[in-house]
Amino acid sequence: MIFAEASGSKPGSLTIVGTGFLVAGQVTPESVASIKAADRFFFLVAEPATRLWLESEHAGAESLHDVFWEGRPRQAAYDEIVERLLAAVREGLDVCAAFYGHPGVFVHSSHEAIRRARAEGFSARMLPGISAEDCLFADLEVDPAADGCQSFEATDFLVRSRPFDPHSGLILWQIGALGIATYHLRDLWNADGLKYLIEVLARHYPLAHPVVVYEATHYPVCNPVIQRTSLGDLARCKITTHSTLWVTPFAKPPLDQAMLARLRSATEWQ
């Protein structure tokens, strides 16, 4: 089914891959093969070591980082990335683009480029990668199946008043860029936004409730950023645009005894 979706009628193709984190340590063999086989190869990564590795894997590697500059609307930058990828595909070339982490997680350009490439009759596919969420589960030793897990982009969580269950774990992404639609060079884009986030969360958790500010590491020799604190002290942490907030489950909800009895009855009947 995946290959049927990827097929197209025109010469030229697009493959989107992820580099994960830890330089080349989390890139799948399938993604490496796609990088090496590409006629044109583009990349957007977060640090120079991965860039150097990608350039060693493909002699014509082209960085997409120049689409970002101080004050530029982020959507305009994302749109330019899409146009660059599609322009190469329209030339009849096999194009590969690599994004750090998982290429489908918080990467608008990758999804849009694939949708548009397929709409124009080209073959397009995305290969899975290791995301910051995968790293979070490992580094914080969190099992999302134990209590359930909810995941929201932090600004969307606030402006849409997203309903959630405080009895399950809560992941909030990009807490350092709350409400900001333009690109900036500084680490923290909106300190005041944290106050509003704390205000909303405090309606569901006590201020003493434990939370974690997390950032996956990009280097094998460095530890991830793990700042364990309370909701009330969140604003005192060092927060950047790469920071993710993990809110621990408040408590286990009570069992539905009637449903439990029905399930047991069904098991006995079988």
Q: Which of 51, 100, 183, 214 is catalytic?
A: 100
The distance from CA 31 to its chain's CA centroid, rounded to whole angstroms, is 17
Integer Cα distance of 232 and 239 in angstroms: 15
Q: What is the largest CA-CA distance in the chain?
A: 66
d(CA 30, CA 216): 23
List 72, 78, 116, 196, catalytic entry: 78
196 part of the active site: no
The residues near 261 (Cβ < 8 Å, ≥ 6 apart) are none
Q: Which one, of 103, 237, 106, 223, lies nearest residue 173 by Cα?
A: 106
- Rounded Cα gap, residues 212 and 136, in angstroms: 10
Is there a catalytic annotation at residue 74?
yes
- Strand runs (DSSP E) across 71-139, as ranges? 94-99, 123-126
Catalytic residue among 72, 74, 116, 118: 74
Q: How many helices (H) and strands (E) does the chain have?
A: 10, 10
Three-state SS for 18? strand
3-state secondary structure of 33: helix
DSSP 234: G
Q: At 243, which amino acid appears?
A: S
Q: Could you give the CA distance from residue 249 to residue 174 in angstroms, rounded to a whole number?
A: 20
- 118 labelled catalytic: no
Positions marked catalytic = 74, 78, 100
